[in-house]
Amino acid sequence: MTAIVGVLNSQGIALAADSAVTVTGRNGKKVYNRSNKIFTLSKYHPIGIAIYNNADFIGIPLETIIKLYRKTIKEKSFNTVNEYKNDFLDFVRSQVRLISPESKRDAFYSFCQEAFNHVKDSITTKLKAIENELLQLDQAEAIQLIDIEMLNEIDAYLQILQGYHKADYVNLPAESYYTHYQNELTEIANFIEQGIQKHQPLAVLKPNHLERLNAIFFELVNIEFIFERFCGLIFFGFGEAELFPSSHLALLGTLIVDQPRIRIFEARDIVPGKTNSNILPYVQGDVTEAVLTGVDPNFKNEMSSAVESSFRTISEEITNRIPPGEEANQIAAIINDTGTQLLQKLNEYQMNNITGPLLDILAHMGKEDMAELAESLVNITSLKRKFTSSDSADESVGGPVDVALVTKGDGFVWMKRKQYFDINDNRGFIERYYKS
């Protein structure tokens, strides 16, 4: 994991990131504190990119992709940060050809793994539950009941997936999808069937089962939520035509028929007179939110739930003790409204006395102070993780903090940056930097 915090006002945007990266192996987890997460997206223009979560895209390191992109665009610029983002994502799409068929296949299996394990386990559990009933039937009747129960379990999961909000990530017909992944879908079906047959040898996936199983894996493709391993991409800075900075977040998911699943989030920017400053806790933002709002977000959620539950209980207790009717309904409504008003008053106090004044100060904060604030918020997050994690492998924020500041006039400036080499011993690095 990681911690990345952005501080934004009309002058520019400061971004700070820790250096921790968690590696999971056969013997457990280990945290390394030398990972680079902030990069210039252009060598010549005020635009940067930060990465989090997965550091590679289907086996290709994101750092490599970023530096190849930087080399490709050279001195080219774009009018907006959004255009930089779109051009970079197009570049990522163009690199799909470099990924091996084996890696693509493994990525598809990983993408479907949770779904096919769920189907296998739910069917197995259901068939175990009706074992005694099956023993009372002859083989033909037992097979018929097994077929029905398997179909019911598959359909139930399909309906759940169909209820998720969809996005148009991969625009292709179902038949093209089934054709492309014909071998993989067959192997998945065999895996499910073999897993079920370990507990119920009479269970066989029929054509109607397979048809619905394929439908399940197609439903996964355009679920808006990026549930698979993803690369978080934060684009920040200025476009050529922009006077104020902005930040754009994109999640880069897996490949489906050579098309990456990409979710784009709403930009965070400066709108004079409306939004003059902001603090952006991109990852592990609980500590930053506590500073910004004056209360731990988990505690706030628990408090809100407790208040709503308590007022609802009081309402029910009182109305149960008086005759039902319009008066009882009015009393219940008044009590529930009182709970809602209490939470609204607390939120108003928070905004007027904690968050609002902080953002007002931030709107006029100098560049150096913005960078220092971003760094401090990452350091506080690291400190909290250090003293609240019983296992050092769970200290997912740590190591040196890199801090970058992007302004319209001065461009991308490193306020703090770790180096894996001594610049005095590598004079040729600077010369090569702008030549490549």
Residue range(s) defining the domain that contains residue 120: 101-222
In a domain, 290, yes or no: yes
pLDDT band at 25 (very low <50, low <70, confident <90, very high): low
Q: What residue type is 358 in one-letter code? A: L
pLDDT band at 426 (very low <50, low <70, confident <90, very high): confident
Q: Are residues 202 and 308 in the same domain?
A: no
Predicted pLDDT at 391: 47
Q: Are residues 127 and 210 in the same domain?
A: yes
Q: Are residues 209 and 299 in the same domain?
A: no
Torsion of CA 356, 357, 361, 362, to 10 degrees: -30
Predicted pLDDT at 357: 93
Length of the chain, in residues? 436
Q: Kindly tell me if the per-residue pLDDT of 83 is higher than 90.
A: yes
Q: Are residues 119 and 197 in the same domain?
A: yes
- Note the Cα 128 to chain centre separation in Å: 36
In a domain, 7, yes or no: no
In a domain, 217, yes or no: yes
Q: What residue type is 6 in one-letter code? A: G
- Note the Cα 129 to chain centre separation in Å: 37
Share of the chain above pLDDT 70, in %: 95
Residue 200: count other Cβ atoms within 10 Å of its Cβ. 20
Q: Which of 181, 197, 222 is the last residue of a domain?
A: 222
Q: Judging by DSSP bridges, how do beta strands 268-269 and 277-283 pair with one another?
A: unpaired
In a domain, 403, yes or no: no
Q: Are residues 290 and 218 in the same domain?
A: no
Q: Are residues 217 and 107 in the same domain?
A: yes
In a domain, 57, yes or no: no
pLDDT band at 393 (very low <50, low <70, confident <90, very high): very low
In a domain, 160, yes or no: yes
Q: Are residues 105 and 218 in the same domain?
A: yes
As a whole number of angstroms, the distance between CA 4 and CA 53 comes to 11
As a whole number of angstroms, the distance between CA 120 and CA 108 comes to 18
In a domain, 90, yes or no: no
H or E element, residue 432: helix 427-435
Predicted pLDDT at 27: 62
In a domain, 428, yes or no: no
Contact residues for 77 (Cβ-Cβ < 8 A; gap 6+): 42, 44, 45, 239, 240
Q: Are residues 106 and 192 in the same domain?
A: yes
289: three-class secondary structure by DSSP: helix
Predicted pLDDT at 130: 94
Share of the chain above pLDDT 90, in %: 70
Half-sphere exposure of 248 (CA within 13 A, CB side): 22
Predicted pLDDT at 314: 87
Q: Kindly tell me if the per-residue pLDDT of 392 is higher than 60.
A: no
Would you say the C-alpha torsion 99, 102, 105, 109 has a positive or negative sign? negative
As a whole number of angstroms, the distance between CA 141 and CA 146 comes to 9
Q: Are residues 215 and 324 in the same domain?
A: no
Q: Which of 197, 222, 247 is the last residue of a domain?
A: 222
- Residue 318's alpha-carbon distances to 340, 342, 416, in angstroms, are 18, 19, 61
State the total domains in the chain.
2
As a whole number of angstroms, the distance between CA 245 and CA 185 comes to 46
Q: Kindly tell me if the per-residue pLDDT of 26 is higher than 60.
A: no
Q: Which string of b and e fits 78-96 if b means at least 16 CB within 10 Å?
A: bebbbebbbebbeebeebe
Q: Any idea which of 25-29, 329-333, 411-415 has the lowest mean pLDDT?
A: 25-29
Q: Are residues 108 and 216 in the same domain?
A: yes
**In terms of pLDDT, which residue wins out, 376 or 419?**
376
Q: Are residues 292 and 203 in the same domain?
A: no
Q: Which of 176, 206, 222 is the last residue of a domain?
A: 222
